[in-house]
Structure 1
Amino acid sequence: MALSHREKQNMKSSVLKTRREVVSAIICSYPGGRECAAARIGLALKKFDNHAYENNSSRPLSDAQLYQLEQEAGTQHFPNYVAAMYGGLFVPVADPESLDNVEMYTLSVNVAAKRGCVDQEIAKALADGCISETEAEHILNAHNLHMAARHAEVRAAIDLYRNKSGGAQ
């Protein structure tokens, strides 16, 4: 099973630090760019730009508008940003109806790849014998993405193999 656009994006995704960075990343990821994003949420391009970049005292795009754009772009910048504000991780919950053994294998491979990213960041940082603040941030970001993927994998396993009869075995 090939990785979806969302899974590929999450392999290298980092948690953005400001809402403005999040909005910009969502727009850059949107198929067709800002023109198509503006059309999707029903705004003229100039008005969209004003809201997206908070120009001319325009209120920012709403959370619902960002959600709508991210659903089509296949990104998760906004929930990652909000979770990080609270010191947490965003973990998407798999749809139990879509789970099967192939999907579980895909989740497992995704977790392994993300763990490899953590190990690569550590190895890269240790090349000079010490870890800088920037390197530590990259390591922890990769670790957070790995932990979120692992948590999603564990939840999916529970959902897939849960005893549906309600009785103990």
Structure 2
Amino acid sequence: MNREILETRRQVVSAVIRAYPGGREGAAGLLGLTLKQFDNHAYENNGHRPLDDSQIIQLEAVTKTTYLAEYICQQYAGFYVPMPAAELLDNIELHQRGLRTSSKRGLVDQYIAKALDDGEISSAEKREILALHAKHLSERHGQVLATITLHSRVKP
């Protein structure tokens, strides 16, 4: 699996910057910082305070990523579940969510099988299995919430 496991807040910031259209320059512009100011905060250079959560959230709104939320949830041994937007739900979307859920479960099972090829699961393999498992559970929970939202009598 080539999905990066982000273990530090600094890795989260770097991933968001890599995903940002226009990179560091574009991100600095959005936050109203010069490139030098942005770099000092993003990379905590020269004793500067890091970017705060609201700044990272602003950047993630553009990139449509959820690295910060996923990282914070991971710190509490949880996982991030994006809430389904009621106005975008229909039975086709529910079917697609079901396919994504099945696919993610399959990735977990495939990785476990691969990890067991040598008879044991290493600490790196354990981290990857748990990361894949969290993605599967998140997708499944989102699927359940979407089903409830679409078929509830009272719409939120």
Pairwise same-fold verdict (TM > 0.5): yes
- Contact 2:12–2:71 (CA<8 Å) still a contact in 1? yes
CA distance in 2, matches of 1:145, 1:13: 11
1:130-169, aligned counterparts within 5 Å?
A: 130-164=120-154
Cα deviation for residue 164 of structure 1 reads 2.5
Cα deviation for residue 33 of structure 1 reads 1.0
TM-score by length of 1: 0.86
RMSD: 1.6
Matched, 1:78 2:56: no
Q: Which runs of 5+ in 2 are unaligned?
A: none
Q: Which runs of 5+ in 1 are unaligned?
A: 1-10
Cα deviation for residue 124 of structure 1 reads 1.2
Matched, 1:99 2:89: yes
Cα deviation for residue 14 of structure 1 reads 4.6
Other structure's SS at 1:91 match: coil
State which of 111, 119, 122 in structure 2 corresponds to 1:121: 111
Q: What is the identity percentage for the equivalent residue pairs of Structure 1 and Structure 2?
A: 49
1:76 partner letter: T
State which of 16, 28, 36 in structure 1 corresponds to 2:18: 28
- Partner residue of 2:48? 58
CA distance in 2, matches of 1:48, 1:94: 33
- Partner residue of 1:4? none
1:103 partner letter: E
Cα deviation for residue 61 of structure 1 reads 0.8
CA distance in 2, matches of 1:15, 1:153: 23
Cα deviation for residue 163 of structure 1 reads 1.7
- Contact 1:14–1:142 (CA<8 Å) still a contact in 2? no
Aligned length: 155
TM-score by length of 2: 0.93
CA distance in 2, matches of 1:31, 1:111: 29
- Partner residue of 2:102? 112
Cα deviation for residue 17 of structure 1 reads 0.9
- Contact 1:15–1:77 (CA<8 Å) still a contact in 2? no
1:159 partner letter: T
- Contact 1:94–1:152 (CA<8 Å) still a contact in 2? yes
Change beyond 3 A, Cα 1:133–1:64: same
